[in-house]
């Protein structure tokens, strides 16, 4: 039964992206497919996410990237949210800015205004070209998410060096209430073990400089 739903953003997550690597190594992870990855329309994308949730086991963990974070946020106040055990929200995109080049993305704007009814961790980069760190802080406060400061890590995608990223699985384990695993970072070669305290307003680990 599905334990993890992978939720990409605009244009999906291509081969080599950390979300794709997750799918390759985790047989209980499933990709939430969209009919048109290049033309995001909230009502259509939300329908696909809710259908995937209803087909998954209760307590499923959502792992979202970029615009996928705003999609997950749109679950607030909807019945399907009761199936969610937690959400890992990585490098959310600034919907207002994105809408200037992708007009249909404007439909996601209202999703950023409500507190999430499930535990969540927002992973933010300090030099993300699609969301200023201050904006990520505001999203975390609005959604009620613990904020994980990843340092200078770009948009946490292939372009910023994120292929295999085992620390994402460790963060998700924290949402599941499982013990922290020991992981090897995508760069640098050092191993770190760390846990996630969901009650904390912000999580820091400056040793995870993956940018």
pLDDT category, 178, cuts 50, 70, 90? Answer: low
Phi and psi angles of residue 65, each rounded to the nearest 5 degrees, phi first: -135, 140
Do residues 153 and 210 make contact, with C-beta atoms less than 8 angstroms apart? yes
Cα–Cα nearest to 163, from 14, 32, 38, 48: 14
CA dihedral 59, 176, 93, 45 (to 10 degrees): -20
Angle between helices 166-176 and 18-25 (to 10 degrees): 70
Question: pLDDT value at position 1?
Answer: 79
Question: pLDDT value at position 177?
Answer: 84
Token pair for 83: 């199936």
What domains does the chain contain, in order, with CATH numbers? 4-204 (3.40.50.1820)
- pTM to 2 decimals? 0.85
Whether the predicted pLDDT of 75 surpasses 90: yes
């Amino acid at each position: 039964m599905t334990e993890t739903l992978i939720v990409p953003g605009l244009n999906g997550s291509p081969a080599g992206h950390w979300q794709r690597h997750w799918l390759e190594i985790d047989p209980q992870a499933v990709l939430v497919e969209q009919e048109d990855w290049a033309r995001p329309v909230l009502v259509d994308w939300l329908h696909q996410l809710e259908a995937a949730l209803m087909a998954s086991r209760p307590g499923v963990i959502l792992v979202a990237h970029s615009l996928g974070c705003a999609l997950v946020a749109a679950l607030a106040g909807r019945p399907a949210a009761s199936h969610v055990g937690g959400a890992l929200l990585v490098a959310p995109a600034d919907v207002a800015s994105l809408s200037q080049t992708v007009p249909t993305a404007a439909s996601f704007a209202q999703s950023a205004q409500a507190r999430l009814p499930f535990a969540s961790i927002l992973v933010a980069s300090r030099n993300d070209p699609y969301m200023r760190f201050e904006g990520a802080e505001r999203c975390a406060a609005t959604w009620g998410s613990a904020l994980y400061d990843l340092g200078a890590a770009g948009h946490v995608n292939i372009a910023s060096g994120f292929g295999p990223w085992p620390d994402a699985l460790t963060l998700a384990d924290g949402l599941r209430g499982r013990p922290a695993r020991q992981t090897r970072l995508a760069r640098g070669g050092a191993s770190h073990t760390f846990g996630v305290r969901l009650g904390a307003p912000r999580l820091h680990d400056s040793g995870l400089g993956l940018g």
